[in-house]
Structure 1
Amino acid sequence: MEMPVENKEIVFLLADDHSIVRQGMAILIDEIVPNATIHHTSSLLQIVELITSKGIEIAVIDAHFPDGNSLHILSQMKNANPDIKILIFSGLEEDLHVLKFIKAGANGYVSKLSDEDEIRQAISDIVHKGEYFSDLSRNLLIQYVHNPNLINPLSRLTNRELQIAEMYADGYGNLEISNHLNIKQNTVSTIKKNIFEKLKIENLVELIDLIKTHHKI
């Protein structure tokens, strides 16, 4: 007779650059899987190495680290252990980011803004079912089948908005953009406002990150 999941010695990796986040998640994991072994790291660069050296079975990782974006290492994590289950635990807007992480190999995505019960459910599902998707994620996955552009939020922009977004990402200011495109500065400002609203972002740092992550997917 197979041992219940709760009694198995599942090896977890918690990867987040904030120790308080890892400690909180570890408490929840201990409640759900008392025999779990939990490894911690605050570094994106250590994740793949730990998967190999510690035999990690379930990884709970943030989307962003000071040393990079975890989206780009999911394939390396799967190469290190094809059976690993990856739960993204992020403060990023779920509706903007979940699809690209699932496409890259994640088995689930839960927002740091979720209440404790939902986070507990996410851990339980990733342990018992090997995946966790919120109702929002499931709806987006269904929509994505019919509209693959959903995975790239930049597809919401017009050609002109995308052109100006790229110029901001390249370090151009309003005056340079207006001179280069031969349009008024207040027109550039209006387009910038539209870009921010469509992408649900608040500053140029977030815009640059979106351009880097999504452009030419």
Structure 2
Amino acid sequence: MIHIALADDHKMFAKGIESLLEEEDDFLIKGVFNNGVELMDFLKNNPVDIVLTDMNMPEMDGTGVIEATKKKFPKIKVIVLSMYDDQVIYDKCIRLGADAYVLKGSDPDELIYTIREVHEGNYIQDFRKVLFQQDDDKYPDHYKERFKLSRRELEILRLIKDGNMNKEIAQILCLSQYTVESHRKKIHQKLGVSSAVELVKRAIEMNL
């Protein structure tokens, strides 16, 4: 179970993130806070695995959260949730010790994927990927809209169609096998198929 705490002063956004993550069987939301000071007070007596933090907050902003968390609770991983696709801000966050930087406009599955990979300690990030993770021309937009498939899910579906097993897909995409299995389960649900044969057939129909 991955224990998570979230700090974001936009209550509607925070509530949406909380609801999204609570749908995952291996995620447990331990607390949601409006600023970094409240978060830090909570962490004193309530250890978590992952902290998700907004950049702009009153009293203590995202950079303050990164610094304080890494100094006082070095085992906790910090993921920044930001609306800024800015190299300077990204570099500052990573320099302070942030483990990942996710744009607020990203596909929800990207955040879920990032949390799992950061928790497992095998997450490697490139700022160019952060900026352009939603702009992959290999996957037509109408498939994303019709089936609500994320870029990562379409990528995995293509590899399944090409005959790759979960372990092989994990190696190709530098993911954990658990993450691939989780994505694959969601692909089955979104496409309404119950077997690998049906899944491959649908991928062929989609001309992936």
TM-score (norm 2): 0.55
> Partners in 2 of 1:96 and 1:15 — Cα distance?
22
Residue 100, structure 1, aligned to residue 87, structure 2 = no
TM-score (norm 1): 0.53
Distance 1:128 1:71, change over 3 A: same
Query: Is the 8 Å Cα contact of residues 51 and 80 (structure 1) preserved in structure 2?
Result: no
Of 39, 46, 71, 1:47 maps to: 39
Deviations 1:120-141 (A, max 9, x none): 22222223336462561689xx
Which residue of 2 is the match for residue 72 of structure 1? 64
Following superposition, the deviation at residue 27 of structure 1 comes to: 2.6
> Partners in 2 of 1:49 and 1:132 — Cα distance?
30
> Partners in 1 of 2:85 and 2:64 — Cα distance?
18
Which residue of 2 is the match for residue 23 of structure 1? 15
Question: What's the secondary structure of 1:65's corresponding residue?
Answer: coil
Runs (5+) with no aligned partner, structure 2: 132-208
Question: How many matched pairs?
Answer: 131
> Partners in 2 of 1:86 and 1:59 — Cα distance?
5
Task: Look at both structures and tell me which one has the larger radius of gyration over its CA atoms.
Answer: 1
Which residue of 1 is the match for residue 118 of structure 2? 126
Residue 87, structure 1, aligned to residue 79, structure 2 = yes
Query: Is the 8 Å Cα contact of residues 83 and 103 (structure 2) preserved in structure 1?
Result: yes
Runs (5+) with no aligned partner, structure 1: 1-7, 140-217
> Partners in 2 of 1:58 and 1:132 — Cα distance?
16
Identical-residue share of aligned pairs (%): 22
Residue 62, structure 1, aligned to residue 43, structure 2 = no
Give matches, 1:91-170, under 5 Å: 91-129=83-121, 131=123, 133-134=125-126, 136=128
